C-alpha cells in the first residue's frame, strides 16, 4: 500500500475513534514516511485521545 493509502486509512481510524481531526494533524501525516505511518497506525488504535495521538507525531 502506498503512503497515501496508509495515510487515508490512518485518518479514517482517527476520525472513527475521535471525530474530526485537525488540519495540523492531517498536514503532519502527509509529511511522514511509510514506516512512520505504519507505526502510527498501531498508536492510533491504542491511544485514549486525539491529543495523546498528536503528541506521538514526529516533529
Cα(17)–Cα(31) distance, integer angstroms:
22
Distances (CA, A) of 20 to 3, 8, 17, 26, 50: 21, 13, 9, 10, 9
**pLDDT tens, N- to C-terminus, the chain (59 residues):** 578 899 999 999 999 999 999 999 999 999 999 999 999 999 999 999 999 999 999 87
pLDDT of res. 59: 77
pLDDT of res. 1: 57
CB 41 within 8 A of CB 14: no
Cell numbers at 3, concatenated: 503512503
| Model pTM score | 0.89
Angle at 42 between CA 46 and CA 37, to 5 degrees: 135
Amino acid at each position: 500500500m502506498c503512503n497515501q493509502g496508509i495515510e487515508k486509512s490512518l485518518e479514517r481510524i482517527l476520525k472513527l475513534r475521535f471525530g474530526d481531526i485537525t488540519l495540523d494533524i492531517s498536514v503532519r501525516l502527509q509529511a511522514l514516511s511509510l514506516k512512520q505511518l505504519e507505526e502510527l497506525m498501531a498508536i492510533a488504535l491504542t491511544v485514549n485521545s486525539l491529543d495523546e495521538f498528536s503528541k506521538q507525531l514526529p516533529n
